[in-house]
Amino acid sequence: MSMRPLVLLPLLLLTACADSSSDVLPPAAADALVVDYDAADGTPAESWTLSCTGSVSGTHPEAQAACEHLRPLQDPFAPLPADRMCTEQYGGPQIARVSGTWAGDPVDLTLARSDGCHISQWEGLVPLVPVTEGAF
């Protein structure tokens, strides 16, 4: 009896498993984000996923509204210009980090409410990030 069939059988099983698992895994999404949010009020930080490619999915509490808001925006995750002039107001201690991909481009943006420009940037991304109360 030849050993060849015994060697090939595990390889065939591995190949079959690999092929079937690829049907279960979703394709890489062009609009897939992770939002890490810290209210900075003593409550645990939260993390949500959001996919706006095809049907809306993820753990984001307002997934549909977030996707509908983001889709028409030209460049929603553009960093603030370095030469900006901002009002000196404080909007709160909240912090959010948005990472992933949007329109096929990488996203890695940290949001804060530390001055007028950052507050405006934050509010421009609601409902992706939570609505916060006014300045302290």
> Is 3 a domain residue?
no
Contacts 24+ apart (CB under 8 A), 117-122: 117/80, 117/84, 117/86, 117/87, 118/80, 118/86, 118/91, 119/89, 119/91, 121/80, 122/91, 122/94, 122/96
Please, are residues 118 and 124 in contact by the beta-carbon 8 Å criterion? no
Q: How confident is the model at residue 30 (pLDDT cuts 50, 70, 90)?
A: confident
Q: What domain range includes position 95?
A: 27-74+86-131
List the structure tokens of 103. Answer: 């329109």
**78-134 residue pLDDT tens:** 999 999 999 999 999 999 999 999 999 999 999 999 999 999 999 999 999 999 865
In Å, what is the CA distance from 13 to each residue of 1, 8, 21, 56?
21, 9, 12, 34
**61-79 residue pLDDT tens:** 999 999 999 999 999 999 9
> Is 105 a domain residue?
yes
> Is 81 a domain residue?
no
> Is 16 a domain residue?
no
> Is 107 a domain residue?
yes
> Is 94 a domain residue?
yes
**2-28 residue pLDDT tens:** 555 444 444 344 444 444 433 433 445
List the structure tokens of 11. Answer: 């390889």
Q: How many domains does the chain have?
A: 1
Percent of the chain that is helix, strand, coil (3-state, to 5) = 25, 25, 50
List the structure tokens of 90. Answer: 């404080």
Residue with tokens 């940290």: 110
> Is 110 a domain residue?
yes
- Give me the CATH number covering residue 123: 3.30.350.10
> Is 10 a domain residue?
no
Distance (Å, whole) CA 7 – CA 85: 69
Closest CA relative to residue 59, chosen from 27, 36, 75: 36
